[in-house]
Amino acid sequence: MFDTFSLERVTVGEVTLRVRHGGRGTPLLLLHGHPRTHTTWHRVAPLLAERHTVICPDLRGYGESTVLPSTSDHAPYAKRALAADMADLMRHLGHDRFAVAGHDRGSYVALRLALDHPRAVAALTVMDSVPIAEALARCDARFAEAWYHWFFFAQPETPERVINADPDAWYRSPANTPEAMGAANFEDFQRAVHDPATVFAMLEDYRAGLTVDRAHDEADRAAGHRVTCPTQVLWSTKDDLEYLYGDVLSIWRPWTTSLQGAPIPSGHHMAEEAPDDVARALLSFLADNWSTPV
């Protein structure tokens, strides 16, 4: 897994991040979602590494990165804080300007990076998401049924008790198996979800989503802030974004200045289920927007 990539721990501000990086060319930051770690990219990153320097970190609180205590407003797990970690990480690695692609919860960090650090982000790809404020503004019975976990995870203490009582039962899914994920990726996922501290941090990510992250999104929308770099949206055909929203790009258009996107024939964990299609979409988009000869 990640043959020829380097693995290290990098301290930025108040956190130490586990980071895997390799390849050559213009830098590309890949951000995982819940309940994954950076190893979710193990089938995609090598396909990108001949044309890009690929950086795959564990987000704050996920995998083997630092778990911080939280506060009543959940600000330590705000996407603004996680995005600042990523901006600091990339500067530490010598990349003042880079492309970023994020999946699921990582897509919210990627969006916040592009909004808060526009001079650093050259191109943005978001996968299987719409902005948090847009999802909550459109919340209806279908959303509440499909994404009930957003609201369950936001409750105090109870989600930790339920998940930690039997993590294997909570996360049981055809997508969460060694066969689907790859053995080493599955083992990394298992270590994470069996660590109560990591479970707490992952839940704080969701609690921040319904509070401080929503407020940050709404403030940007009210102020007319938009992503100024080229943006690509990818969504899984076997997931539920089209079911919930119809035209996914129409949700993203008011947030961007240059937008394109396409469906990926896959279930939700597209980097594991359809790595060739994901890599092809990223390489094509970046060839037009963030590639230089190596």
What gap in Å lies between CA 91 and CA 263, rounded to an integer?
32
Mean pLDDT on 173-194: 97
- Domain-embedded: residue 294: no
Q: What does the alpha-carbon distance between residue 284 and residue 159 come to, in Å, rounded to a whole number?
A: 40
**Closest CA relative to residue 31, chosen from 169, 205, 210:** 205
pLDDT tops 70 at residue 90: yes
16, two tokens = 């130490």
The overall longest dimension of the chain from CA atoms, in Å, is 52
Name every residue whose Cβ is closer than 8 Å to that of residue 234 and which is 6 or more positions away in sequence. 125, 126, 127, 128, 261, 262, 263, 264, 270, 278, 281
- Given a cut of 50, is residue 197 above it in pLDDT? yes
User: For 190-201, what is the mean pLDDT?
Assistant: 98
> Would you say residue 1 lies in a domain?
no
On average, the pLDDT of the chain sits at 96
Residue 29: name the closest of 76, 91, 78, 77 by CA: 91
Residue 38 lies in a domain: yes
Res. 246: pLDDT tops 60 = yes
Domain count, the chain: 1
Q: What is the pLDDT of residue 119?
A: 97
Contact 21, 54 (CB under 8 A): yes
Q: Is residue 193 in a domain?
A: yes
Residue 186 counted as domain residue: yes
Residue 176 DSSP SS3: coil
Render pLDDT for 51-83 as a digit per residue (tens, 0 to 9).
999 999 999 999 999 999 999 999 999 999 999
Burial (CB < 10 A; 0-12, 13-18, 19+), residue 31, is buried
Q: What is the CATH number of the domain that holds 92?
A: 3.40.50.1820
How far is residue 27 from each of residues 111, 119, 223, measured CA to CA in Å?
A: 17, 14, 30
Is 45 among the domain residues?
Answer: yes
Q: Provide the whole-model pTM.
A: 0.97
Q: Where does the pLDDT of residue 290 fall: very low under 50, low under 70, confident under 90, or very high at 90 and above?
A: confident
Cα separation, 205 vs 60, in Å, equals 9
What value does the mean pLDDT take over residues 220-231?
97
The enclosing H or E element of 219 equals helix 214-223
Confidence category of residue 294, pLDDT binned at 50, 70, 90: very low
Tell whether the model's pLDDT for residue 279 goes beyond 80: yes
Q: How far apart are CA 137 and CA 18, in angstroms?
A: 34
CB contact at 8 A, 59 and 202:
no
Q: 86's torsion region: left (phi>0), alpha (psi -120 to 50) or beta?
A: alpha
Quote the percentage of the chain above a pLDDT of 70.
Answer: 99
Residue 292 has pLDDT above 90, yes or no: no
List pLDDT tens digits, range 265-274. Answer: 999 999 999 9
Has residue 195 got a pLDDT over 90? yes
What pLDDT score was predicted for residue 293? 45
- Domain presence at residue 230: yes
Report d(CA 257, CA 250) in Å as an integer. Answer: 13
pLDDT at 291: 63
pLDDT in tens, 119-155: 999 999 999 999 999 999 999 999 999 999 999 999 9
| pLDDT per position as a tens digit, 19-40 | 999 999 999 999 999 999 999 9
Q: What is the domain range of residue 202?
A: 6-289
Query: Is residue 180, in this structure, part of any structural domain at all?
Result: yes
pLDDT value at residue 59: 98
Cα 213 to Cα 220: distance, rounded to the nearest angstrom: 11
Tell me the pairing of strands 52-57 and 259-264. Answer: unpaired
- Say if residues 36 and 269 touch (Cβ distance below 8 Å): yes
Provide the annotated active-site residues: 104, 268
Question: How many residues appear in the chain?
Answer: 294
